[in-house]
Every structure is written in structure tokens, then in C-alpha cells.
Structure 1
């Protein structure tokens, strides 16, 4: 597993802890890191796309940035009393992925008040619903142009930093 993948797992866990407990929000998050250590992080809900198009877009930016690792996270609601924040970190060159899960506790007003430690588990990448984003995607020239334009517009508004050592 790439060093960036291990670091990404730690960072996404801390990111969720800060945003959930500090701001009360539990967004669907996506982040990728390329071989140069450039990291991009944004909220998936901001895309306002259907799931299939969303996956195409994410695959497009993974390929455009030659991502070595990506992570995707979300809130999982089993029932009102049992909620989890889960994310997976997928490495380009590894058949395994890191899946992390932490239990979220809310008060009577439905505000987050506690988040357990994230438990890490290694699973087969192809067992994850969104573990296929490295697979080549065939897009029309028009769709590529739309995605390129959207990505350029997004880049000015999302977290971009270098993880390079």
C-alpha cells in the first residue's frame, strides 16, 4: 500500500472528527492524492449528480490527476440510534483497501456529541461499492469537456494542498 494511502486514512479520520464534532456536519467526502503529493478534497454532495454520473466524474478526475490513492466517506444510518461514519481508502496498485468506521452518537436534539475511534480493516478493493473508480471509463468528447470545465471551476473552491515530503 502506498504511503499516501496510510496517511490519507489518518487524515480523513481526523477531518471527519473535526467537522462532525466541531461543526455538526457529516458530509460525503472525496479526496485523492497523485504521485506528486497533490491532494484535492471536496464534498460529493456539492456535485449534485446522479450516482452513475458522479462515479464517472470521480473516475475522470482520478485518471486526469493520475491518482495513486483516493478516499470516499459518508454517514451510514442503521437506525436512529445507530449511526456510523465510514470511509474507504483505495490504492491504485493494491488489491486491498482500508475501510474505516466509527460510531456517531447524537443527543436528543440530533446534534453529534461523540465519535468513537475509527477502526481500520483491510478488505478486498473489489468488495467496496466505489472501489472501481480506477477502472477505465469511456466518455464522449462532450462529457469529457463538461467534466473538465466542472473540475476547473471546482478547483478554485476546494481544498488543495501538497502531501509531498
Structure 2
């Protein structure tokens, strides 16, 4: 539902703000929510996969979890054609099969390269997969080869001990 997407987007935005200010770090992560309210939070920085393979793996994880929605946070480097410079940007995407909310924040670092804050650049939402990046993991159909299924299944099983699982319906 749009309400769930908005909740996920706001939770992740606040969480990343706190991580930036309190810990000076912005880990790549994904969180999926199942129909039953069960949720996982998976830190992906230790996952050594090419970004295209990592995106396929994210689709696999969400499918295995029977996720109805997810939120994904990642750092990106963007070029500025006008000034010829580059900037580091945090992107957060919350999406289900029909809608997405996407926000971007400029990363602010101190002299020691420690993250000290985030400056909001903009937020957009929509329902057109063609106008959104490859991180809309629940849109469109997707098939995995037997080899991919075996590899991704093993990766997912190995990762589970380090993944945070919680129930969104409980007050804990």
C-alpha cells in the first residue's frame, strides 16, 4: 500500500540521517516486508557481487521472502556536467509492484572523509517502471537460471545469521 511505502521511506530516511550524524557511515542495505508484517533488514556492504548480479540477487531475496514491499538505500557517485565535478549521493527507494517513492541526498563529509550529514536534493514518486532505475526490484517479471537460483539460495542462507528480522505488527 502507499501508506506502507511512505512509512518505509520515512523510516529509512530517518535511519540514514542518524547513521550519518552519529556513526559517519552509510551502508548499502535493503529491507523487505512480507504480507504477514514480517520484515528483514540486510546490510549489503560485505556482499561482493557486480552491481547487475547484486540487483538480481536482491530480486531473488525479495521473492524468497515473499515481500510485498521493500526499501533500498545505496550510495552513488554522480557527475555534474555543468561544473565538471562529481558528488556522492545517497539514494533511497521504497517500492511495491505498482508504485515507488525515491529520494536523493547529497553526502556531506569532513576533512577526514567522515560522513557528517545529508542534504536533501529531492523526492519523487510514480508508477512507471520505464521512468525509474533498475532498483525497482518488484516490477516486471524475472526468471533465474538453475545456476543463479542455486548460487543465490546459498548466498541467502549464508547471510541469514547476520540479517535483522522483526515483526512490524508487534510493539517491540
TM-score by length of 2: 0.81
Aligned to 2:3: 3
Unaligned runs of 5+ in 2: 80-84
Mapped pair 1:144 → 2:149: yes
The answer to whether the Cα contact below 8 Å between 1:89 and 1:97 also exists between their aligned partners in 2 is yes
- Root-mean-square deviation (CA, aligned residues, Å) is 2.3
Structure 1 residue 157 displacement after superposition: 0.4
Give the paired residue count. Answer: 163
Deviations 1:43-99 (A, max 9, x none): 23322111222122111121122211112222233467843322111112x2x3101
The answer to whether the Cα contact below 8 Å between 2:25 and 2:114 also exists between their aligned partners in 1 is no
Work out the CA distance in 2 between the residues paired with 1:7 and 1:62.
18
Aligned to 1:97: 100
Unaligned runs of 5+ in 1: none
Change over 3 Å in CA distance of 1:132–1:82 after alignment to 2: closer
Select between 153-162 and 136-145 the one with higher mean Cα deviation.
136-145
TM-score by length of 1: 0.83
Change over 3 Å in CA distance of 1:125–1:152 after alignment to 2: farther
Aligned to 2:110: 107
Mapped pair 1:129 → 2:158: no
Aligned residue runs from structure 1 range 1-165, under 5 A:
1-78=1-78, 82-92=87-97, 94=98, 96-116=99-119, 119-126=122-129, 127-134=131-138, 135-164=140-169
The answer to whether the Cα contact below 8 Å between 2:77 and 2:89 also exists between their aligned partners in 1 is yes
